[in-house]
Amino acid sequence: MLKINLKIAFSFLFAITPFYGYEVKAQNPRICEQDLAREINAILDNPIHQRATWGVLVQHLNSDNILYQLNDEKYFIPASNAKVLTTASALLKFGADHQISTPIHYTGEMPNIDTLTIIGQGDPTITSEKLDEIAQSLRDRGITGINQLIIQDNAPFSDIINGTWENSDLPYYYAPPVGNIILNQNTVTMSFLGQRVNQPATIQWSDNMAGRQWRVINNVITTDNPDDNNIRLIPNWRESTLEVTGELGVNQESRQWWLSIPNPHQYFLDSLQVALRNQNISVSSTRIVNANIVDHLTSENQLMEIKSELFSEIVNTTNKDSNNLFAEILLRQLRSENVSQFEEQKAVLSTINVDPQAYNLRDGSGLSRQNLITPSAMVAVLQGISNTEHGKMFRQSLPMAGVDGTLRNRFQDSISQGNFVAKTGTLTGVTALSGYLEVENYPDLVVSIMVNKSMESGVTLRETTDQIVDTVARVRVCE
């Protein structure tokens, strides 16, 4: 029998076979610019994609040269791709070093003061540890008693609860109330532990003070079967109730549920009182107000000022982790007394040549299904911000393919891994992916892909968008 060395045979085959329009490199043959449209169309012409609406725009970062376009001037629901506009406009308006201040005022004479007023301005980075620091600082200033502790939040209810969000989303961590008073991102986790057979499982909260915000109807029974772990959660955000049913094996712990906090003002107030008590500072009465009482106070009454993290860090968290709360706060910071946040956003983005008619947003995070944007507008934002002093920082804030953020588990071992940074976006029937693509021996590209009205699974949609990006990553100039 004739034995053939396959390695030599294939090497010979590649040596004598002409390749028109691309070269073979590993498992990623390059594609000529003029053939890119054909390759992308071949992906989208799959019958399973035909009923959905796709929008795609691939363009050079630093020129108007378009490599591929499909429905790029049509409106799409962008999901979390809306955060691209939110974070870009916040950086352009305030800069990377901006911080949100939370002033603390007092009246009366120490050590027993009449009032202590916390004036919420929307800092989303305040944690329980920060409250402990505030209480310690008050103690260090000699305060031992507060007659009235006041929490002030001027945000109207229409801002705290976005009317365009789905009611079914509101109980969960990704759709928390967004006021000017925020603690621990207004979220809490809940789980169950089976301890005594035939008895209700024990509720475990990440923060017991936050857990008090929910009334739990616990119908989870502990069984002697260690394999039992089927728990169903039925939340009612409007009534702040959680009905929980199912069985949990003895000594077994359930999965965690990440929940929003229905009344963040009370949670903040209760938590602050505990921090003060731990410093032996007494509080006689408390009050939550949404009216502006700062006018009755002067700069001489300001005791201290709490600073948020830098906007560069907030933007990074917003984009890398797709943090909805942070995005909503960044958008709200654009608002002034006579101009809405959306009007100001359009004005700011117009300075980098983004057509204000090419998008219409109803929130900053992308959770709203009433948001609309064209792929061309998305590309314009990415191009525009890259040519400003914030371009490098903004680019670094986006998840990197196969490395970190919401893209850490995508593009593994692909040609785009480490070369593509982009904002993801997902809602039921909606997938979006927009960002910057570095291609070997080729100019940097901006890519925006959006799909709406799809019945395919989220996994399938993500795989298809990733396939399109990997196809673009193979582009080259051909003679």
For the record, the structure tokens of 336 come out as 């002034």
Residue 339 has pLDDT above 90, yes or no: yes
Number of structural domains in the chain: 2
Q: Which residue segment(s) compose the domain that 104 sits in? A: 100-308
For the record, the structure tokens of 130 come out as 């920060």
- 12 domain residue, yes or no: no
Residue 393 has pLDDT above 50, yes or no: yes
Q: What is the mean pLDDT of the chain?
A: 92
Give pLDDT, residue 298: 62
The CATH number that applies at residue 441 is 3.40.710.10
- Looking at 267, 290, 308, the residue that finishes a domain is 308
267 and 248 in a common domain: yes
For the record, the structure tokens of 420 come out as 């593509």
Give pLDDT, residue 462: 96
Give pLDDT, residue 155: 82
Residue 41 has pLDDT above 60, yes or no: yes
234 and 201 in a common domain: yes
258 and 340 in a common domain: no
The 10s digit of each residue's pLDDT in 227-236 is 999 999 999 9
List C-alpha distances in Å: 86 to 90, 172, 176, 362.
6, 22, 18, 11
Say what the pTM is: 0.91
Residue 294 has pLDDT above 80, yes or no: no
Place of tokens 């359930």: 254
Give the CA angle between residues 225, 231, 233 to the nearest 5°: 165
Give pLDDT, residue 4: 38
- 335 domain residue, yes or no: yes
The 10s digit of each residue's pLDDT in 42-85 is 999 998 898 999 999 999 999 999 999 999 999 999 999 999 99
Percentage of the chain lying above the pLDDT 90 cut = 87
- The maximal CA–CA distance of the chain, rounded, in angstroms, is 103
Residue 24 has pLDDT above 60, yes or no: no
Give pLDDT, residue 254: 95
Q: How far apart are CA 390 and CA 167, in angstroms?
A: 36
The DSSP letter of residue 124 is: T
- Looking at 308, 338, 355, the residue that finishes a domain is 308
Closest listed residue to residue 377, CA positions, set 109, 128, 88, 127:
88
Residue 306 has pLDDT above 90, yes or no: yes
**Which of 154-158, 359-363, 462-466 shows the lowest per-residue confidence on average (mean pLDDT)?**
154-158
Give pLDDT, residue 17: 35
Cα torsion 191, 124, 96, 327 to 10°: value is 70
Residue 22 has pLDDT above 60, yes or no: no
The 10s digit of each residue's pLDDT in 412-434 is 999 999 999 999 999 999 999 99
